[in-house]
Each structure stands twice: as structure tokens, then as C-alpha cells.
Amino acid sequence: MSNRFQAPRGTQDILPDAQPYWAAVQDAIREVTRLYGYRRIDTPAFEDAALFEKGTGDTTDIIEKEMYSFTDRGGETLALTPEATPPICRAYLEHGMASWPQPVRLYTTHAMFRYDRPQKGRYRQHTQFDCEVLGSPDPLVDAEVIELLWRLYERLGIRNLAVRLGSIDDPGPRKAYVERLKDYFRPHLDRLSEDSRRRFDRNPLRLLDSKDDRDLPFKAAAPKLVEQLSPAAEAHMATVRGALESAGIPCVIDPLLVRGLDYYNRTVFEIVPTDDERAQGTIGAGGRYDGLIELLGGPPTPGIGFGSGIERIILEMQRNEVVFAPTPLTEVFIVHHGAAAAAVAFKLAVDLRSAGIPAVVGESGRSFKSQLRSANSSNARVAVIIGEAEAAKGEVMVKDLTGAGDQHAVAIAGAVSDVRQHLTA
């Protein structure tokens, strides 16, 4: 039996070859959020578990099945963060952001933890890009949030997308619809999935969110909330849709988009590939939650936001054949042999790095030939070669690794300047 450790199930190591994707996503996030006036916020990796029970809902899969919760040595029940919105809303209240100019636009990239069945693009630890706007009921803010996410995907080379747009009205008008929905599903309860039967009384809207094959025929024929919206909610959705169309963002109305908790209202949306029918096709999703801040103990405060998993974004970039050139390990590789040459090599590397030039020193004791193979493997542009004879004469050999392999001797004192000239030529 092997004693070697492996990464826990549902987690992954992000190896160096994958880092260019992560860097590209993080760079695009910084640029897009800057263009839209968002500021970064970072919240703790764990919070009071009750925050998520209130802010995520104790009838959701996250709370019922997926949350990593634990009791610490002080007896507090805590949870690793499964989603970003409740912690950001908690921070908004805790730090008096209601006194800031409204609305407050915040974003984060945060590790999330959910005990879910691992699959491609979905991990038990994943990193989520999240934006929240707190303090505005304006439907144009809803459209702006959706546009921000859309523009991010565009910058990253993701194509063939569409916005699925819906509305779940406001809590008051929604109550009558929920009763009609229950009346529709009640005769079919014995044929529904176990999850749907359990949700029937506790969270009936989530019957429309089921992916279970047993529920799909009944879900498709269920009454549609978007067909009976209150006038205010209907006007809100029309404004959002019109703004997106004016921005050239294709959207379709999806009557089955729901959020199961009472504090959600009006706009809900998902962004999905139009050429991919996988069950996990959604790249990003969000919605309006005008009742959440009040539920957490604050004054009535409108809010809207979204979440988009970075692993899922990268998967879609790869599916769209976004590729990056190999990243050179270094610009300069210093090949040396002998004790005197080793001392010169180490000091030269210090000087090159101080001048802002990446440099790697070959391993002492290895042959010139072996070190030059390593230099080529590193994709360095220049090799600096130092043997005992060169060290004794106070010079080094500078060799071009990108062309015909030309090389020339240069005094040690002028090596940094010579290498810089070569790299900028």
C-alpha cells in the first residue's frame, strides 16, 4: 500500500503550464472591473455558519448537502465560504458602507468550498469571480452587471454565448404564483424525484430548477411566472432586456430561471454557451436580491450580483482554442564549470537580476553540455558561459540561443550591459 499523499478528492494543483490561463483571467478581471468602477474586497475564508444559513438559505443544496461546517475550539460553528454574496453583504453592514456614496460596486476572486460530486469544471474547492452592486434598484444597473460579465468573456476569447434572462417578480406578487405552482405539481407528487417532493412545501420555486429526468416533463408544462409578472416587474425586465439589446448582447427569456429564496426578486440571469448542451453549461449566473441586507439585520437595501467560477471560465477558453505561447523560464542561463567560475556565475546572476534581467545559474558539477541542454530547455535567449580560463582572464562568453548560436567574449565588468543590449536588439 502506497504512503504517498495526493490532493484531496475534488481539488486540483494548478501547475505552471496552466498559470498563463489564470494570469489572463485575473488580468482581464482587473481591467474590466476598473472600466466599470468596481473596487476589490476580500473576505475571510470562513465565516459564521449562520450567515450562510440566512444568506444562502437552509433549503438550498449548498446548506443541506454541500457546506463544509465545523465547530472551533471556542465552540463557534463556522463554515468555509461556499459563495461570496453573503460575506460581502455582511461586510457592507459591518463597515458602514451604507454611508458611502451609493451604489457601492465591489468585486472579489475568492476560494469557495462545496462538498459536491467532482466533475470537469466543478471542484470541491474552486475560485469564483464575484461582483456585487449594493444600494441601487435601477434596472440599468442590472444590465450593467450582465454586460460586465459578458465583456469579460469576450476579452478572454470565449465566443458563441447567450444570456438567459428571467424575472421572479417581487415577493408579494410572487406568492399567488407559488400557490398556482403548488396546485399544478400536487397531483404529480408521487412521480417526482425525492428532492422535488421534499422541496414542494419548503421551497416550491426550486421545482423549476430540477435537472432530474423524472421532473423534466412536469417542469416544462408548469405555469410560467414571466407570463404573469406584476406591472413593475414587467417594466423592470423590459428595461434590462432593451439595454442589453442596445449593447449588442443577445438574450433570450427563460421562464424556468428561478431563485428559491424570498429575498431574491426581479432579474435573474445565466450566461451559457449556445453550442454546448452539457449539463454544466452555465459559465456565470446572478440575480437581484433586494431583501438580503434586511434579512441580515440592515435597512432595506437593493442589491444585485453574479458569480462565475474561474476554473469553468478556463475550461471554456480551452474549448474555444485560446492558447498561450510557452513561458520562458528565464532570459539568461549562466553555464559554468570550476570553483572560480561558480563564484563569478553567482555574482553575475545577482547583477543581472538587480538590473531587472531574469537569470538562472546552471547546477555546479554538471558538464557544459548538460548545462547547455538545460539552457535550451529553459527557452532562455542568451547563455553566458564561464569556464576556469574565462574566469582567470576576467571575461565571459555570451552565446545567442535564438538564432545561429553566435558567441563572443566580453569583460565581466561589461557583461550586464552587453546582455541587455543583446536582449533589446
Helix H, strand E, coil C: the string for the chain is CCCCCCCCCCCCCCCHHHHHHHHHHHHHHHHHHHHCCCEECCCCCEEEHHHHHHHHHCCCHHHHHHCCEEECCCCCEEEECCCCHHHHHHHHHHCCHHHCCCCEEEEEEEEEECCCCCECCECCEEEEEEEEEECCCCHHHHHHHHHHHHHHHHHCCCCCEEEEEEECCCHHHHHHHHHHHHHHHHHHHHHCCHHHHHHHHHCHHHHHHCCCCCCHHHHHCCCCHHHCCCHHHHHHHHHHHHHHHHCCCCEEECCCCCCCCCCCCCEEEEEEECCCCCCCCCCEEEEECCCHHHHCCCCCCCEEEEEEEHHHHHHHHHHCCCCCCCCCCCCEEEEECCHHHHHHHHHHHHHHHHCCCCEEECCCCCCHHHHHHHHHHCCCCEEEEECHHHHHHCEEEEEECCCCCCEEEEEHHHHHHHHHHHHHC
Pair 68, 80: CB distance under 8 Å: yes
267 with 304: CB under 8 angstroms? yes
Q: How far apart are CA 39 and CA 101, in angstroms?
A: 13
pLDDT score at 339: 93
Map out the domains of the chain as residue ranges: 16-170+230-319, 332-420
Q: Are strands 69-71 and 77-80 parallel, antiparallel or unpaired?
A: antiparallel
Which pLDDT does position 278 carry in this prediction? 47
30 close to 109: Cβ distance less than 8 angstroms? no
Q: What are phi and psi of 61, to 5 degrees?
A: -60, -35
CB 25 within 8 A of CB 93: no
The C-alpha torsion from 228 through 284 and 104 to 252, rounded to 10°, is -30
CATH fold of 16-170+230-319 reads BirA Bifunctional Protein; domain 2 (3.30.930)
Per DSSP, what are the bridge partners of residue 155? none
Q: Pick the closest to residue 383 from 367, 407, 354 (CA basis).
A: 407
Cis peptide before 250 (omega within 30 of 0): no
Q: Which three cell numbers stand for residue 360?
A: 538562472
Distance from C-alpha of 77 to C-alpha of 194, rounded to nearest angstrom: 29
pLDDT of residue 157: 97
Contacts of 279 (CB under 8 A, 6+ apart): 211
CATH topology agreement for domains 16-170+230-319 and 332-420:
no
Residue 269's closest CA among 253, 246, 289, 250? 253
**pLDDT under 70 in the chain at which residues?**
1-2, 56-64, 276-280
Domain range 332-420, its CATH number among 3.40.228.10, 3.30.420.40, 1.25.40.10, 3.40.50.800 = 3.40.50.800
